[in-house]
Amino acid sequence: MKISAVTVGPFEENCYLVLDDRTGAAALVDPGDDPARIVAMAERAGASPSVVWLTHAHLDHIGAVQGVRRRWPGIPVVLHPADRELYAHAAMAAQQYGVPFEQPDPADGSYADGDVVRLGSLSFRVWHVPGHAPGHVALVGHGAVLGGDCLFAGSVGRTDLPLCDPAAFVQSLERLLTLDDATVVFAGHGPQTTIGRERSGNPFLTGAVRISGAPRAVGVAPRGPEEPGNVRRGDRVE
């Protein structure tokens, strides 16, 4: 597997190209803006993507969907159904931010928690990790997680936007922490990192900084104030 990235648009969003080097099958993840540069990334890799996987439908992750569709007509676009509302209203949100935006036609496909999406000889598990957005998913497989705007190097996604759910976000981060330390995180913004690095150094995961609006810190089981019960490495919290 090869993963390339290009950082696009005013929100500096990372669009990824996932390539199965055995079969040549390729997917685009979150084509957020600047379709010409996304197309160039694919062409440099000698790839002709057969699918677009969206981690969520914030405007900075979907702004090049229509441009990608023009280059590869008929390419399916897959989105969790809980993000259809964000997707449908992305142009309105872009107007509020004052950024240019091309509203994409509706997504064709949907995935659900537990689905497996295949790409040539590769397969990824779909995890529904809501909180930053209601239909946010992470794609997990081959020692990597395409994590969208959940977990960043040294930070986490925002929880103060419309349709955010800070309590659900804490649970989603805890779910991501069940992955092995060596798992490489390909984030929606900023550099790639690993679960281990974030587990030990990310202030939002060590409990040093509270998630905005959340009822409790990450890794603190809701047992009552006398017994905070910190979660240890490797514990599974769901």
Interface residue list for Zn ion (CB under 5 A) = 58, 60, 149, 188
Of 156, 108, 106, nearest in space to 136 by CA: 156
For Zn ion, the closer of residues 58 and 175 by Cβ is 58
Residue 149 vs 174, nearer CB to Zn ion? 149
Burial class (CB in 10 A: 0-12, 13-18, 19+), 88: middle
Strands (E), 1-88: 2-8, 13-19, 26-29, 51-53, 77-78
DSSP state at residue 183: P
Least Cβ distance, residue 118 to Zn ion (angstroms): 25
Min separation Cβ 88 and Zn ion, Å: 16
> Distance (Å, rounded) from C-alpha 220 to C-alpha 187?
24
Retrieve residue 1's tokens. Answer: 């597997």
> Can you tell me whether residue 92 is helix, strand or coil?
helix
Least gap, CB of 138 to Zn ion (angstroms): 13
Q: Which is nearer to Zn ion, 159 or 183 (CB)?
A: 159
CB of 225 to Zn ion, least distance (A): 32
- CB 136 to Zn ion: min, Å: 8
Length of the chain counted residue by residue:
238
Nearest to Zn ion of 38, 47 (CB atom): 38
Q: Tell me, what DSSP letter sits at residue 136? A: -
| CB closer to Zn ion, 130 vs 188 | 188
Residue 204, phi then psi, degrees to nearest 5? -80, -20
